A and B are shown apart, each in its own frame.
Chain A
Amino acid sequence: MLSDVVCVRCPRSCLIRVAVEEGSVKSVEGYGCRLGFEYAVEEVTNPKRTVCSTVRVVGGRYPRLPVRTSEPVPKSKIREVVEALRGVTVKAPVRRGEVIVRNVAGTGADVVAEMDVEPEAA
């Protein structure tokens, strides 16, 4: 079976054709880089996305802290990941890469901070 996949890893949006026979990938054509190759194989076997959202942060410049999953999670889990972040509150200071929620929604991925938040003088 042939599947056409639009790569979402970067703006080039490569159109990648993946041939699958008896559940295993036979060929991958049209990818522009290693990230695209990996994405296309995953998209036809177990589609995943990196989820980016925000959590509440107290004591920083802004009331929200941007966060992301440390790795792509199954597409079917996106909604659960976002729901799991509702009600989460952290306190400044926060360091980029700091784990905010471990093993979010049972995906094995952590939710990590995307940026530093310095405490602001009230």
Chain B
Amino acid sequence: MIEVGKDVVVVGGGPSGLAAAVRLAELGYSAAVVESGDELGGILIQCIHDGFGTKLFGKALSGPEFASSFIERLGELGVEAWTRTHVVRVRLEGGSWVLTAVSPRGVLRFKSRAVVYATGCRERTPFEIRVGGTRPAGVYTAGLVQRLVNLYGVLPGRRVLIVGGGDVGMIVARHLHLEGVEELLVVFPEPWFAGLPRNVQQCILDFGIPFRPRTIVKEIVGKERVEGAVLVRVDEKWQPIKGTEEFYPCDAVVFSVGLVPNASQLEELGAEIDPRTRGPVVNEYFETSLRGVFAVGNLLTPFDYVDDAVETAFIAAEGVSKHLSGEARRDKPIPLRPGPNVRLLVPHRVEWASGRDVTLFLRPSVERENPRISVRSSGGELYHTRRRYARPSLMERVELPRGLVESSPEGVVVDVE
């Protein structure tokens, strides 16, 4: 067994994990990155389209380019990165976190005083949206198709049905169109694409890719191989409308039906989980309910910008520093709660006695023009900031002055009005 002792172990070598490790090393801590995949960079390696890094670098980089800048920095700082290394068990032993991992070099035991989880998201599967019919070859998730097309040059089929109008689905539709898929159709139950307007423009409308709103897949047809799918129109409540079933012939069906935080290991460890995000409950430095265990990036909730995911990692690195130097916490945490027009909000509470302003990320549940994002306590409004528009597809970032939160020890409510 190989023993590795560090101040901090970062689980996950995607952009957020890399950013956390880079910042921790810059702050003078010894860190190791543990990555279960073959290489560092996470999902960005297969995201060959551009648009990453506009906030952080003022440039529209591709995914691999964005990842490379952090991978190179990690190398310059001499941070150890363990790829093909999978954490199988985590225990608290005598005040230290002990992570047991398996790797091609054997079993490893990492010992550290803090852990940063950056395990990202997984894709929801067709099973989770109850698609009927058979289970032939040719049914994929969108992320898998992105990987096949962009890294292996393999197309999933000649006539492809894409299920879901989110960003990943639209981006994959464009790749498939450009790389030579003969016929494409995108279907989704909403009245319009759920993803970002920029992707509707540059992935769908730019190329005239056909799409059908208010349509879902009722069942998949085919014995060995996908032969088609039965489409059905749905009403406002996403209930199938009888008599509108239609057979659509295709040889592949690609599901792009949402992302779920990979929080199962944290959950097993006993970390509190937010039922809205399905990720861990965290304080203002993105520390989970387990002391010294932090959670960053898409493990909290899927972000629109990798830049924002990376920012949570930078903030968590400061939190690790506070934890390791034993800084004071409040006797009672101050809860941050989502209002009726907010679908989800991170972080969930303010727990440290002092520190930086509180960076909030929230996803509205409504669409509004010229909205206010307001922060209220029982005594009335504490703070507001204006936006030109708010929509569910767009995550909002708000920097809340710490003093305002501290003046409301009973908690605050964040809403879109």
Contact = CB atoms under 8 A, between A and B. Distances in A.
Interface of A: 6-13, 15, 30, 33-35, 49-54, 56, 61-64, 66-68, 75, 78-79, 82, 96, 114-116
B201 interface: yes
A13 B394 contact: yes
17 contacts: A8-B198, A8-B202, A11-B51, A11-B304, A33-B54, A35-B58, A35-B60, A50-B50, A53-B178, A54-B150, A61-B38, A64-B151, A66-B48, A67-B48, A68-B50, A114-B62, A114-B65
A73 to B, nearest CB: 12
B48 A52 contact: yes
Interface of B: 38-39, 45, 48-51, 54-55, 58, 60, 62-65, 67-68, 149-153, 178-179, 196-202, 206, 304-305, 388-389, 394
A68 B62 contact: yes
A11 B62 contact: no
A115 B65 contact: yes
B65 A8 contact: no
Given A6-B197, A15-B388, A114-B48, 19 more contacts: A7-B198, A8-B199, A8-B202, A10-B51, A10-B60, A13-B201, A13-B394, A33-B58, A52-B48, A53-B48, A62-B151, A62-B152, A64-B151, A67-B48, A68-B48, A78-B178, A78-B206, A79-B178, A116-B68
Contacts of A67: 48
Contacts, number: 100
Contacts of B62: 52, 66, 68, 114
A119 to B, nearest CB: 14
Contacts of A53: 48, 178-179
Contacts of B49: 52
B54 A49 contact: no
Contact of A10 (B38, B305, B388): B305
B394 A12 contact: yes
A66 B66 CA distance: 13
A53 B174 CA distance: 10
Given A12-B394, A30-B388, A54 B201 contact: no
Contacts of B38: 61
B152 A64 contact: yes
Contact of A9 (B48, B60, B394): B60
B41 to A, nearest CB: 8
B202 A49 contact: yes
A63 B153 CA distance: 7
A51 B153 CA distance: 17
A37 to B, nearest CB: 13
A79 B177 CA distance: 10
**In this complex, which of B65, B68, B388, B394 has the most chain A Cβ atoms within 10 angstroms of its Cβ?**
B65
A7 B199 CA distance: 10
Given A15-B197, A35-B58, A114-B62, A9 B51 contact: yes
A115 B409 CA distance: 49
A114 to B, nearest CB: 4
Pairs of residues from A and B, 3 with the lowest C-beta to C-beta distance, nearest first: A66-B48, A115-B64, A10-B54
